[in-house]
Amino acid sequence: MIKTDILIIGAGPTGLFAVFEAGLLKLKCHLIDALPQPGGQLAELYPKKPIYDIPGFPEVLAGELVDNLMKQIEPFQPGFTLGERAETIEKQEDGSFIVTSTSGLKHQASVVAIAGGLGSFEPRKPLIPNIQQFEEKGVAYFIRNPEVFRNKKVIIAGGGDSALDWSIFLSEVASEVTLVHRRNEFRGALDSVEKVQELKKLGKITLITPAEVVGLRGNEHLDAVVIQKADKSEETLETDYFIPLFGLSPKLGPIADWGLEIEKNAIKVNNSLDYQTNIPGIYAIGDVNTYPGKLKLILCGFHEATLMCQSAYQRIFPDKRYVMKYTTVGGVHGFDGSKKEAPKAVVKSID
Amino acid sequence: MSDITISITDRDGAIHEVQAPTDMNMNLMEIVRSYELAAEGTIGICGGMAMCASCQCYVESNHELPEKGDEEEAMLSEAFFVKDNSRLGCQIHITPELDGLKVTLAPEE
Q: Measured between CB atoms, does B73 come within 8 Å of chain A?
A: yes
Give residues with Cβ within 8 angstroms of A337, minimum separation 6. none
d(CA A71, CA A67): 6
Residues of B in contact with A49 (CB under 8 A): 49
Residues A132 and A239 in one domain: yes
Say if residues A199 and A186 touch (Cβ distance below 8 Å). no
Give me the number of domains chain B comprises.
1
Q: How many CB pairs under 8 A join A and B?
A: 49
Q: How far apart are the first and last CA of chain B?
A: 36
Nearest CB to A183 within list B39, B45, B77? B77
Q: Which pLDDT score is estimated for A316? A: 96
B2 vs chain A: nearest CA distance in angstroms? 27
Mean pLDDT by 10 residues, chain A (351 residues): 98 98 97 95 91 98 98 98 96 97 97 95 90 94 90 95 93 96 86 94 95 94 95 95 90 93 93 95 97 96 98 95 90 95 84 83
Say if residues A121 and A44 touch (Cβ distance below 8 Å). yes
Q: Flag if B39 and A265 touch (Cβ within 8 Å).
A: yes
Residue A277 β-bridge partners: none
Q: Measured between CB atoms, does A249 come within 8 Å of chain B?
A: yes
Residues A208 and A271 in one domain: no
Give the domain extent around A170.
125-244
Q: What does pTM read for this prediction?
A: 0.85
Residue A10 lies in a domain: yes
A180 vs chain B: nearest CA distance in angstroms? 11
Say if residues A123 and A253 touch (Cβ distance below 8 Å). no
Q: Which pLDDT score is estimated for B55? A: 97
Residues of A in contact with B41 (CB under 8 A): 118, 252, 264-266
Residues of B in contact with A158 (CB under 8 A): 78
Domain end (from A228, A244, A260): A244
Give the domain extent around B77.
3-105
Residue A345 lies in a domain: no
Residues A117 and A129 in one domain: no
Domain end (from A244, A268, A291): A244
Residues A113 and A254 in one domain: yes
A251 vs chain B: nearest CA distance in angstroms? 9
Residues A137 and A104 in one domain: no
Q: Which residues of A296-334 are buried (b: 16+ CB within 10 A; e: fewer)?
A: bebebbbebbbbbbbbbbebbeeeeeeeeeeeeeeeebe
pLDDT at B1 over 80: no
Residue A137 lies in a domain: yes
Residues A276 and A328 in one domain: yes
Strand ranges inside A59-186, DSSP E:
60-61, 79-82, 86-91, 97-101, 106-114, 120-123, 153-157, 176-180
B20 vs chain A: nearest CA distance in angstroms? 21
Give me the number of domains chain A comprises.
2
Q: At A14, which CATH number? A: 3.50.50.60
Q: Flag if B109 and A124 touch (Cβ within 8 Å).
A: yes
Q: Flag if A160 and B74 touch (Cβ within 8 Å).
A: yes
Residues A172 and A224 in one domain: yes
Q: Is A54 helix (H, G, I), strand (E, B) or coil?
A: strand
Q: Measured between CB atoms, does B107 come within 8 Å of chain A?
A: no
Q: At B71, which CATH number? A: 3.10.20.30
- Is there a binding annotation on residue A86? yes
Residues A261 and A312 in one domain: yes
Nearest CB to A250 within list B45, B49, B78? B45
DSSP string computed for A244-273: E---EEEE-GGGGGSS--EETTEEE--TTT
Residue A30's H or E segment, with its range, is strand A29-33
Q: Flag if A249 and B109 touch (Cβ within 8 Å).
A: yes
From residue B85, give the alpha-carbon distance in Å to each of B60, B64, B106.
7, 12, 11
Residue A196 lies in a domain: yes
B13 vs chain A: nearest CA distance in angstroms? 20
Residues A7 and A116 in one domain: yes
Q: Flag if A187 and B52 touch (Cβ within 8 Å).
A: no
Residues A201 and A158 in one domain: yes
Domain end (from A214, A244, A274): A244
Residues A209 and A258 in one domain: no
Residues 8-47, chain B: which have Cβ within 8 Å of A?
A: 39-42, 45-47
pLDDT digits over B48-91, tens only?
A: 999 889 999 999 999 999 999 988 988 898 889 999 999 999 99
Q: Measured between CB atoms, does A103 come within 8 Å of chain B?
A: no
Bigger pLDDT: B40 or A172? A172
Residue A348 lies in a domain: no
Residues 64-93, chain A: which have Cβ within 8 Å of B?
A: none
Residue A190's H or E segment, with its range, is helix A190-201
The verdict on ipTM greater than 0.95 is: no
Residues A98 and A129 in one domain: no
Residue A93 lies in a domain: yes
